[in-house]
Amino acid sequence: MKRPMFVSILTSILAIWSFISCDKSDDNASSIDPKFSWEESASNPNEIIFKNLSEGDYLYVEWDFGNGKTISKTTDKLQEPSVHYPVKGEYSVTLTLWGQTNQASDTKTTIQTITILNDDENYEPIEGLIWSDEFDGSSVNMNNWKFETGDGGWGNQELQNYTNGDNAHIEDGKLIITAKKVNDNQVAGSYTSTRMVTWGKQEFTCGRIEIRAKLPSGRGMWPAIWMLGSNIGDAGWPACGEIDIMEYVGFEPNQVHGSIHCPASYGATEFTKTLPLENCEEEFNNYGIIWTEESIQYYVNDPENPFYTYAPSNKNADNWPFNKPHFIILNAAVGGTWGGAQGIDNSIFPQTMEVDYVRVYEL
């Protein structure tokens, strides 16, 4: 059958456009050339300095140093990461370039294997450590964390909008979470902040869990270091269990709280203890729990001196949902049923919670 002329013309145009598009995509991919060099630090042969030598028109660089350290997509093409390899061996280092379309199909990767000949004689492994984030990269390690976002109140009538990483960065080996004021209205979305979770990435059942942090201050702030049961999607809250390793409210300075939430007691839970801590807003402190099959002990700075122990004698699903994996949460809320119980002082912003490390030890 003879086709109408306009159909033939349209078909020809589409064919030409498809050819051009494919050709352009191929050009994008072929126009970038990933390269990098590396050298030992003059002061320590276990410290390796990397340099991006890539050519072409690309948007981002992404590093995987083969030892668990990574740098997520960044526009800083000139950075020279310094990475410590304390243990001898071979490590595959990967550099990925993201082209102008910012699509996975428009990336190019190069891999080099570096060989560390000797253990670092000055390196002292931390006894019993099974996982940690020392925040010693240039960006948040998304192999460990994801950002939860939104301004829906988070079950506590909180007023912050949690952003997708805009309120968190790494600086001098520390995670900095910043709560910012957007306007003076003191309604949902009047502030921005960060809520980071290890859900689906790093989850734990029992162990000693310790976080070294310096807290924000001021009326209206409600920072927390805590854990939720990984089965929350199925079991819901409080059946999943909640372990509040540290909570602080700005209208009650110089003290921190440790609490348990479960079906046996939740919300204004009876399973809680307050600890006076004069320097918590000015100095770093180690907030931790020792979690066994029998009990959860809370401590600050000294694991040998717990200030609260939760240990129901007859354990059941209502009082002990702590025999299943839990994930870690770091957040700095603004306002809410507890944090905003005495209002919010809008003059205090911005406020920061600084985290030096998060560590999990086996018992």
Tokens of 285: 């402190």
Which one of the listed residues 62, 247, 252, 354 is annotated catalytic?
247
Could you give the strand order of the β-sheet that contains 89-98, starting from the edge strand earlier in sequence?
Answer: 70-74, 60-64, 89-98, 107-116
Confidence (pLDDT) at 30: 63
Domain ranges (residues) in the chain: 36-122, 131-361
- Residue corresponding to tokens 């050519």: 55
Does 47 participate in catalysis according to the annotation?
no
Residue 15: is its pLDDT beyond 80?
no
pLDDT average, residue stretch 344-356: 98
- 36-122 and 131-361 have identical folds: no
* 247 catalytically annotated: yes
Residue 33 has pLDDT above 70, yes or no: yes
By CB atoms closer than 10 A (0-12, 13-18, 19+), residue 162 is buried
Interval 50-67: pLDDT, tens: 999 999 999 999 999 998
- Kindly report the CATH class assigned to 131-361: mainly beta
CB atoms within 10 A of CB 137: 18
Q: Residue 154 and residue 150: Cα distance in Å, rounded? A: 8
Residue where the block lists tokens 């080099």: 112
Convert the pLDDT of each residue in 63-113 to its tens digit. Answer: 999 987 778 788 889 989 888 899 899 999 999 999 999 999 999 999 999
**pLDDT for the residue 124:** 81
Cα–Cα distance between 95 and 105 in angstroms, integer? 15
Q: What integer is the mean pLDDT of 288-301?
A: 98
Write out pLDDT tens, residues 160-177. 999 999 999 999 999 999
Residue 19 confidence class, pLDDT cut points 50, 70, 90: very low
Identified catalytic residue from 158, 210, 242, 354: 242
Q: Three-class SS string for the chain?
A: CCCCHHHHHHHHHHHHHHHHHHHHHHHHHHCCECCEEEEECCCCCCEEEEEECCECCCCEEEEECCCCCEEEEECCCCCCCEEECCCCEEEEEEEEEECCCCCHHHEEEEEEEEEECCCCCCCCCCCCEEEEECCCCCCCCCCCCEECCECCCCCCCECEEECCCCCEEEECCEEEEEEEECCCCCCCCCEEECEEECCCCCEECCEEEEEEEECCCCCCEEEEEEEEECCHHHHCCCCCCEEEEEECCCCCCCEEEEEEEECCECCCCCCEEEEECCCCCCCCEEEEEEECCCCEEEEECCCCCCCEEECCCCCCCCCCCCCCCEEEEEEEEEECCCCCCCCCCHHHCCEEEEEEEEEEECC
CATH superfamily of 36-122: Immunoglobulins (2.60.40.10)
Which of the two residues, 21 and 124, has the higher pLDDT score? Answer: 124
pLDDT of residue 151: 97
Question: pLDDT band at residue 24, thresholds of 50, 70 and 90?
Answer: very low
Is the pTM for the entire model greater than 0.95? Answer: no
Contact 180, 350 (CB under 8 A): yes
When pLDDT is averaged across residues 138-157 and rounded to a whole number, the result is 95
- Quote the pLDDT of residue 204: 96
Q: Are 313 and 320 in contact (CB under 8 A)?
A: no
pLDDT at 327: 97
- Do strands 146-147 and 326-334 pair parallel, antiparallel, or not at all (unpaired)? unpaired
Q: What percent of the chain has pLDDT over 90?
A: 81
Q: What is the pLDDT of residue 185?
A: 98
Whether residue 219 contacts residue 335, with contact meaning beta carbons closer than 8 Å, is answered with: no
For residue range 241-283, what is the model confidence (pLDDT) as tens digits? 999 999 999 999 999 999 999 999 999 999 999 999 999 999 9
Give the confidence band of 5 by pLDDT, cuts at 50, 70, 90.
very low
